[in-house]
Chains A and B, each alone.
Chain A
Amino acid sequence: MVSGADRVTRARAALATVTDPELPPLTIADLGILRDVVADGEGVEVLITPTYSGCPAMVEITAAIRAALAEAGIAPARVRTVLAPAWTTDWLSAEGRQKLSAAGIAPPTRQPPRCPRCASPATELLSAFGATACKALWRCTACREPFDAFKCH
């Protein structure tokens, strides 16, 4: 019989491999989607929070969480969606922000984003809505490259 605390530690290790299908460099912990892991009877309960109400990745993320826990031999595993308090981009970890930049996506900021390629602050908004619900489309007026920026929410 594994103690609840051990199980939670093992579950957290397994969940560290679960990434966002739309932002593969980022884990669900980096994004702040993973809210908590608690011991639940013989298994665990995982609390997650949606980033945007229409985010299609949540279904896949839930399936990926179940698969990762099953592979780690942690059962039963329940996944519960928590709405309050609402997710905000402030929950992105520092590591998550660095990973976004490295992937060519400007991290969320309340100012106009710097170009993730050349770091120029001279950027302009092309469209407030980008390839996914969480991103907007910008262009760098210095190096002329278009880039995605994570929307500030």
Chain B
Amino acid sequence: MGAMVGSAVTLAETPLLSYVLGRADDALILGHRLSEWTGHAPILEEEMALANLALDLIGQARLLYEYAGVIEGAGRSEDDFAYFRDPPQFRNLLLVEQPNGDFAMTMLRHFLYAAFADPYWRAMMASADATLAAIAAKAEKEMAYHLRHAADWVIRLGDGTAESHRRLESALATLWPFTGEMFRAEAGEAALIAAGIVIDPATLRPTAEATIGRVFTEAGLTRPACDGWQSGGRRGRHSEALGHLLATLQHLARSHPGATW
């Protein structure tokens, strides 16, 4: 690592760099959120599951950050992107940075993300960009497992006790306004979509909504009406929660720049 360490340098972000960073940030932030459960999960099997889900996501983030470094061509490593950017430079969806809350909140947040990410990565396997297509082929297999696991929990909690159902409904009321952002393309992405490098996320909405509808029916949940979607994460406008998350995630690397162990 060179002169970048500790400095919040903003290099010109091309649309492709912003895009790749966005997907890397989604995976890193959600992976970090899940890893916060380590040592706190309700049962042993779930402790292992959450750690594995986190590991998959952090692995996907690493592949994407590595590619972001190649695109940028300024010698930044995956660690530079993860540890030495400030909240306004993060490009993740607001959904993934929402705090864990209780187990219902964590599993519902994961289900909503996976219902989008599974078909998203499957579609991205056809990207005209060979690296993104290759990363997609890995991520898609992993997200299929994530979707199944999270959907099982949403059904189990929704169709469980009155208390588990109440908690899941409360989580849904909190999280639903953040789901619209998943299907929004940013202005700068039009050329990437036209070139077949990325897909328009709006095209995934019917598939994701069908999955969500099917699981909600089984869970006895009603999809809330929403007249105002929360967005801005892709442009660096985040909730307070991201600052707290990054304070934990980045503390060690920023306190001891270049440390290895």
> Does A131 have its Cβ within 8 Å of any Cβ on chain B?
yes
| A-contact bits for B38-77, CB 8 A (1 contact / 0 none) | 0000000110110111011111101100000000000000
Q: Are B48 and A127 in contact (CB under 8 A)?
A: yes
Chain A residues with CB below 8 A from B134, complex form: 83-86
Q: Is B137's beta carbon under 8 Å from chain A?
A: yes
Residues of A in contact with B (beta carbons under 8 Å apart): 50, 52-56, 83-87, 126-131, 133, 137, 151, 153
Complex alpha-carbon distance, A83 and B53, angstroms:
20
8 closest residue pairs by CB, A with B: A54-B59, A53-B59, A83-B134, A86-B137, A84-B134, A127-B45, A129-B49, A129-B52
Contact A53 B60 (CB under 8 A): yes
CA distance A137 to B60 in the complex (A): 23
For the complex, what is the distance from the CA of A137 to the CA of B59, rounded to whole Å?
Answer: 22
- B237 interface residue per 8 A CB criterion: no
Residue from the list A50, A84, A85, A131 in contact with B48, Cβ < 8 A: A131
Collect the chain B residues with CB atoms within 8 Å of residue A129's CB.
Answer: 45, 48-49, 51-53, 145, 149
B residues adjacent to A (C-beta < 8 A):
45-46, 48-49, 51-53, 55-60, 62-63, 130-131, 133-135, 137-139, 141-142, 145, 148-149
Cβ of A53 and Cβ of B56 under 8 Å apart?
yes
Q: Which of A52, A126, A129, A137 has the most CB of B within 10 A?
A: A129
Residue of B45, B130, B141 near A126 (CB, 8 A) is B45
Inter-subunit contact A127/B49 (CB<8 Å): yes
Q: Bound complex: CA of A83 vs CA of B63, how far in Å?
A: 10
Task: Contact check, B63 vs A53: say whether CB atoms are below 8 A apart.
Answer: yes
- On chain A, the residues within 8 Å of B63 by CB distance are 53, 83
Main secondary structure of the interface of B (DSSP, over half): helix
Number of A-B contacts (CB under 8 A): 69
Cβ 8 A contact of A83, one of B49, B55, B58, B138: B138
Whether the pair A52, B138 counts as a contact (CB closer than 8 A) is yes
How far does the Cβ of B238 sit from chain A's closest Cβ, in whole Å?
24
- B45:A137 contact, CB within 8 angstroms: yes
Shortest CB-to-CB span from A140 to chain B, Å, is 17
A52-B56, A53-B62 known; A86+B45 contact, CB < 8 A: no
- 29 residue pairs of the A-B complex, CB under 8 angstroms, read A50-B138, A52-B138, A53-B62, A53-B63, A54-B55, A54-B56, A54-B59, A54-B62, A83-B131, A83-B134, A83-B137, A83-B138, A84-B137, A85-B134, A85-B137, A86-B134, A86-B138, A87-B138, A126-B45, A127-B49, A128-B148, A129-B45, A129-B48, A129-B53, A130-B52, A133-B52, A133-B56, A137-B45, A137-B48
- Complex CA–CA separation, A137 to B43 (angstroms): 14
Residue of A54, A85, A130, A137 touching B57 (CB-CB under 8 A): A54
Closest to A54 in B: B59
Query: Shortest beta-carbon distance, B162 to chain A, in Å?
Result: 26
For the complex, what is the distance from the CA of A50 to the CA of B135, rounded to whole Å?
11
Q: What's the least CB distance linking A148 to chain B, in Å?
A: 11
Asked if residues A54 and B45 are in contact (CB atoms below 8 Å), the reply is no
What is the distance, in angstroms, from B124's C-beta to the closest C-beta of chain A?
12
Residue among B57, B59, B137, B148 making CB contact with A55, cutoff 8 Å: B59
Q: A52-B138, A53-B138, A54-B55 are in contact. List 17 more A-B contacts (CB 8 A).
A: A50-B138, A52-B55, A53-B56, A53-B59, A53-B142, A54-B56, A54-B60, A55-B59, A56-B55, A83-B134, A84-B137, A86-B141, A128-B145, A129-B149, A130-B48, A130-B52, A133-B55
